[in-house]
Amino acid sequence: MPPKESHWLGRDYLDDDLIPGTSGGGEPEDADHSRPRRNGRLLHRLAVAYADAHGDPDRLLEYRLELIHRYCGERSGVLLEISCGTAIHLANLASTFSQLIGAEISPGMVDVAWRKMHTSPYRDRIDLGVDPAEELSTIDDASVDVVLCVGALEHMLDLDQVIRQVSRVLKSGACSCS
């Protein structure tokens, strides 16, 4: 079993339910694929103090937005960000799209995102909710112009199911960036 401590998380954030390969008491995980839910609980507890840990957040955001604009061109319409976290990308893309949807596995992240969006002049265009990428149950078929997933795709256990859901919600000729 891996150690409980991490170089970036204090011991208080981790418990046996969040250690890969265990299910509470150090027993092997059941085959019910419950790890995404446990990851969501971890994110829920981290949401209030969450900050991007991959370098200077402002420079990283600027770089990511530049890539998004480059690869998605002048598209507008409906943008869906899966694993939207605290909705930093949605907030910065709100002036470009007529509707923005954030899907996130963590209720805590969605709560923080809603508090951030409260003061946005584009808040009426933004809808945030708990909806795992493997399900996207709140998104209609062929209803999205752009699907965005930043820094999260590699953490999804059932990538084939995520791809199926993204394909289902994308309109014909739409764009997906991850």
- Check residue 19 and give its pLDDT: 32
Domain boundaries, the chain: 11-49, 57-177
The runs of H, that is alpha helices, within the chain are 35-46, 57-72, 88-93, 107-117, 159-169
pTM exceeding 0.75: no
Query: For 83-125, how does the pLDDT look when each residue is reduced to its tens digit (9 = 90+)?
Result: 999 999 999 999 999 999 999 999 999 999 999 898 999 999 9
109 with 50: CB under 8 angstroms? yes
Condensed to tens digits (0 to 9), the pLDDT of residues 117-143 reads 989 999 999 999 999 999 999 999 999
Contact in structure between 112 and 50 (CB atoms under 8 Å): yes
Look at domain 57-177 and name its CATH class: alpha beta
